[in-house]
Structure 1
Amino acid sequence: MDLKDLISAPLILLVLFCSHPCFAKITIGVSSENGESLKYSRKHFHGELKSAYSCVINHLDTDYDVITVPQARLIKMLQNNEVDIAMPLLLLPQRDLFAVRSATIYQVGYELISQSADSDLSIENLRRQANLNGIVYKRGTGARTLMLKYLGIDKNESLSHEQQVSTWQQAVDFVAKNRAGITALPTVIAKDIEPHHFIGVTRIKMPEHQLGLYMSSRFAKNTEATVINDASKTCKEVI
């Protein structure tokens, strides 16, 4: 065997070994907009959601980096295969179109926030408020989808007035100041907002929703994706 053969043989083996994508290091994206519920610093997760998510990630046998970015950007990066894993994210049908969901990691509660002027909290009246006064929601989240589903409004229906804001607190403030009729936010986030922001609004408990993580379409072809999904089932918690 000459020198050329000695060099090419390992390369052939590498190509065969990497017939599925090889991941020298996995990139995990964490949304920066979770309040105190989930943060990553000094190589550790912190917050109310840390237990199950740490449990899942600790099952990885591969080195990983964690980056923290705004959620709208995180979703775009996931769609473009710029991150391998994105979390925490609601498991929603529209996200299934470009990424692969994990099993449910948490069942998380949501609150519908409405103006307090009307004591009628029936779905029909709340729907009327949404149509008359509009809705507001945090951009890059699943709040709009869950809100409209709860109110029985088709997600493709265009309401007369919809506004997107940068923070959950801004969404609550818009309703409190009569700049919108309805909003919604996760209960774990509501705990981090100071109580005075909820003066002048009514808080309505919504059904729990599935919270998990998403894997990029590229990463989902890797064997570590199976590890992540199995760990999601093992580490599942209810809050």
Structure 2
Amino acid sequence: MRLYFTLFTFFTVFYANTSYAKILIGLSSENGESLKYSQQQFIGHLESAYNCVVEGLNGQYSVTTVPQARLIKMLADNEIDIAMPLLLLPERDSFAKRSQTLYKVNYELITHPHKYDLNLDTLRSKVIQQGLVYKRGTGARSLLFRYLELNADSNQFQEHQVNTWRQSVDFVRHNRAAVTALPSVIAKDIPLEYFDGLERIKMPTPELGFYMSRRFSQTTLAESINALANQCAQQT
């Protein structure tokens, strides 16, 4: 009943807000099988909550699919209204407004085994020696720095950026970097042999949702979308 009431409220506000006759949604093209857009539907492991939110737009939206680094820039420049799927990170709060949490996603830290315990001190030492690697345009860097308690402004080690999740695993496999991090749903799409001889460590679970541009977030329509997101998250 609460969801129907929210939808009714949303539609009322939506049609009253003529300045946003068409909402532009930006979708990251680098999600593997976790979230894609096809035939006016989001499909993939994360489709449930995102489809729930978008269905509330009653077709009054368009979707553009771009690389994630480009998506973040478009969001910061107010070129899109909504960007998804995105980790809800403090550094992104400075230029966009986060949604309610739709999912909590599992991330894995990938590294080589160590003859002694793989505690944080050991992992930090490995990073200083070999550096770290992450997929560009994602929240993987922020999660690695937070988990390993590294100084984001440090120049003690080398950072590598790659274009795909699989490339980040390759860097570690071939000892070009000490660690990387990737979502567990993405790891499922990578052949198991890529992880042969590697250690997979479960990291603290970050929150996933979407962001609204600063310009769009100031509208009453944005408030209704966020309320709907809260309802959709409770159903997942």
Q: Structure 1-normalised TM-score? A: 0.88
Q: Which has the larger radius of gyration?
A: 1
| Cα pair distance change 1:121/1:85, threshold 3 Å | same
Contact persistence 1:26–1:62 (CA under 8 A): no
Instruction: Spell out, residue by residue over 1:141-190, the C-alpha distance to the aligned partner (whole angstroms, 9 max, x if none).
Output: 11111101111112222342110000010000100110100100111111
The residue identity in structure 1 corresponding to 2:111 is: S
Q: Is the 8 A contact 1:131 1:159 kept in 2?
A: yes
1:187-198 equivalent positions in 2, closer than 5 A: 187-198=184-195
> SS of 1:103's equivalent?
coil
Tell me which of 201, 215, 221 is aligned to 1:224.
221
Q: Distance in 1 between matches of 2:74 and 2:18?
A: 18
1:39-78 deviation digits (Å, cap 9, x = unpaired): 0011111101000100111122561001111000000111
Equivalent position amino acid for 1:191 in 2: K
**Residues 1-239 of structure 1 mapped to structure 2, 5 A cutoff:** 22-61=19-58, 63-236=60-233
| Structure 2 unpaired stretches of 5+ | 1-16
For the residues of structure 1 that align with 2:133 and 2:235, how far apart are their CA atoms? 27
Q: Distance in 2 between matches of 1:46 and 1:61?
A: 18
Instruction: Indicate if the aligned counterparts of 1:21 and 1:222 stay in contact, CA closer than 8 A.
Output: no
- Cα distance in 2 for partners of 1:118, 1:70 equals 39
Q: Secondary structure at the match of 2:33?
A: coil
CA distance in 1, matches of 2:58, 2:167: 40
1:97 aligned counterpart, secondary structure: coil
Kept in 2, the 8 Å contact 1:107–1:238? The answer is no
Structure 1 pair 21/221, CA: closer, same or farther in 2 (3 Å)?
A: farther
Deviation string, structure 1 residues 60-117 (Cα, Å, up to 9, x no partner): 2561001111000000111111110000000111111111100111000100011125
Displacement of 1:24 in angstroms is 1.9
Q: What is the distance in 1 between the residues matched to 2:184 and 2:93?
A: 24
Q: In percent, how many aligned pairs have the same letter?
A: 55
AA in 2 matched with 1:47: G
